[in-house]
Amino acid sequence: MSSSSTSQPDFAPNKLTLYDNPICPYAQRAVVALKETNTDYHNVYIDFKNKPEWYTKVINPQGKVPALRLEDGTILIESLIIAEYVVDRFDRTHKLLPSDDPKTRAQIRLFTNHYDTAISPNVYGLLRAATSEEQQQKTQAILDGLAQLNQLLVQQSPEGPFFLGNQFSFAEIVVAPLVVRLIGIEYHRGFKIPQTKEYARLNQWIKAFKAHPSIKESTAEDSVFIEGFKKFLPGYNPSATQ
């Protein structure tokens, strides 16, 4: 991984270049997709606190990660687009996101969309909640969303351990980076996934993907996420931590 502290855009001319920051779950999606497909790439770390001017001028005007520079200079942004591009282009097994199985692709998208719409917003809402009543409401919303996620896992593969049974897939590539960051609300808000029957398949799934090499190798230490989530807390003052 190279640093972004140069005055000119950093990229590898003859291979993919990923612009990344380990704190970002969306960037981790891209990293996991690249690892799962054994794709060679050049990784450039983008420091959010000292973002190079060339990044927003040349790579991504929104200033967000991930971004992927292709060999011909084309720039892709948005994690789902990047992850799907990598899988479609480099997954020779066609098992991560089956190209010949529209039903399975649709089921994977239903699963990932559920987390993105029913759970993620409430995770950040729980962090931002200023009163105990708001925190209780957001906690219950997360638990309800996770219970539904458990049902989707049971419906797709009762025995697991992954969404597609024994096959690690695009479902894990997209959702696992978000789930591993639940440590942030565990630390700051005391949230825990219950170890009950209602969440049994979910807990099995989490245990399985956390041990999977591409997730394990690309996940930062818990302390990174705990520190990173502080900025969402009410009354957070970054200068007080410096």
Taking a C-beta distance cutoff of 8 angstroms, is the pair 55, 63 a contact? yes
Measured CA to CA, the distance from residue 218 to residue 43 in angstroms comes to 12
pLDDT at 235: 86
Measured CA to CA, the distance from residue 30 to residue 218 in angstroms comes to 10
pLDDT in tens, 81-117: 999 999 999 999 999 999 999 999 999 999 999 999 9
Question: Residue 42: which of 4, 91, 1, 85 has the closest Cα?
Answer: 1
pLDDT at 98: 95
Q: What is the mean pLDDT of residues 155-164?
A: 98
Take residue 41 and report the two structure tokens written for it.
Answer: 């790439």
The answer to whether residue 120 scores a pLDDT higher than 80 is yes
Measured CA to CA, the distance from residue 170 to residue 177 in angstroms comes to 12
Element (H, E) at 18: strand 16-20
pLDDT in tens, 162-185: 999 999 999 999 999 999 999 999
At residue 86, the 3 state secondary structure works out as helix
Domains, the chain, in order of start with CATH, read 16-90 (3.40.30.10), 102-232 (1.20.1050.10)
What CA–CA distances, in Å, run from 205 to 155, 156, 174? Answer: 13, 12, 14
Measured CA to CA, the distance from residue 126 to residue 114 in angstroms comes to 18
- What would the DSSP string read from start to end of 148-173? HHHHHHHHH-SS-SBTBBTB--HHHH
The answer to whether residue 6 scores a pLDDT higher than 70 is no
pLDDT in tens, 202-219: 999 999 999 999 999 999
What are the backbone angles phi and psi of residue 44, rounded to the nearest 5°? Answer: -115, 120
Q: Is 50 exposed, middle or buried, given 0-12, 13-18 or 19+ CB atoms closer than 10 A?
A: exposed
